[in-house]
Amino acid sequence: MKSLIEKLISTPGPSGYESQIREVVRAEIEAFADEIKVDALGNLIARVGSGGKKIMLAGHMDEIGVIATHIDENGFIRFSNIGGVFPRYAPGGRVRFLNGPLGVIGSEQLSDPYKVPTLDKMFIDVGATSRENCPVKVGDVAAFERPFTDLGQRLVAKAMDDRIAVAVMIAALRQLKNTPHELYFVFTVQEEVGVRGATTAAFGIDPDLGLAVDVTLTGDTPKGVKMEVALGKGPAVKIKDAGLLADPRVVNWMVETAKSAKIPYQLEILEHGGTDARAIQLSRAGVPAGCLSIPCRYVHSPSEMVDLGDVENAVKLLVELLSKPVTLAR
């Protein structure tokens, strides 16, 4: 699992530019799927089984990034965000453009050195000395650059959001022996810019039930977010986030399955942020939907942290959920 996670987070794939990570995922799953296709927006869709309920699983392949908007006469690059790039994490960070150049994010000198600069006060330095010898042009896209770090039980990397869920889905697909359902493992694109991939994929699949797999915040750091989720206490079953009220029947299905299989779990209410589950729930005439969440510290920073036990238990719970018939009471 660790080597898979490292491979996934090391492959760049900002929103809208997921071609490299899509090919890595395809190579990991093609031997285990009955059918694989890529839709018009770039979602990778793997079907397993036939008959029974049509269940859509969604984990997004894309990550936050930046896009070059202007190069000045000295070769410094102004940029805009792709997805939720938090200014407090950016200065001193490193990015790698998809065409190769590595750069460091710098900032204009502010009158208050303790104030966090906004993105429009920042620039990327790739070592160029002029606009002419800058290897980056307007429109070039970069992902954050930070190596995978193994702390034993805890794993740290950029893009755990949502490559850790991609890893969970790949592992579950490999471990699933049989299913009474028609499963669609959808590795979605452009989640970070408005759940766009899940929107089109859900419309095309028209599932009977939907389940996103994504990270969630934790409330276990000093004076951090006030929420019940903590690292090491199991995957979380989402009840609510800013874009979703999970179907209570789906929540009950997930909770009862975890209890029956003796898998540790937590209940999650996330006040800010959302997932692909929102797009699935609102597709066509509506879909019962929920979300399996992996607790993650420092989300949307270059050093997101997860617990290996939570990851492994998320795989176990997903396999249990998909291996047995599902009946949702009306």
Share of the chain above pLDDT 70, in %: 100
Over the stretch 60-79, which tens digit does the pLDDT of each residue have?
A: 999 999 999 999 999 999 99
Name the superfamily (CATH) of residues 2-63+158-323: Zn peptidases (3.40.630.10)
d(CA 196, CA 279): 8
pTM over 0.85? The answer is: yes
Q: Rounded mean pLDDT of 153-175?
A: 97
Structure confidence at residue 327 (pLDDT):
85
Please report the pLDDT score of residue 117 as a whole number: 94
**Burial of residue 212, with CB atoms counted within 10 A of its CB: 0-12 exposed, 13-18 middle, 19 or more buried:** buried
| CATH class label, 69-144 | mainly beta
Determine the distance from the C-alpha atom of residue 275 to the mean position of all C-alpha atoms in its chain, rounded to a whole number.
Answer: 9
pLDDT digits (tens, 9 = 90+) for 250-305: 999 999 999 999 999 999 999 999 999 999 999 999 999 999 999 999 999 999 99
Lowest mean pLDDT among 177-181, 254-258, 326-330: 326-330
Closest-CA residue to 62 (of 76, 83, 91, 79): 83
Contact between residue 316 and residue 264 where contact means Cβ atoms under 8 Å apart: no
Residue 330 confidence (pLDDT): 67
Nearest alpha-carbon partner for 198 in 187, 214, 182: 187
Nearest partner of 68 among 137, 143, 145, judged by Cα:
137
Per-domain residue ranges of the chain = 2-63+158-323, 69-144
Residue 323, burial from CB neighbour count under 10 angstroms (0-12, 13-18, 19+):
middle
The residues annotated with a catalytic role in the active site are 191
Backbone angles phi, psi at 125, to 5 degrees: -110, 115
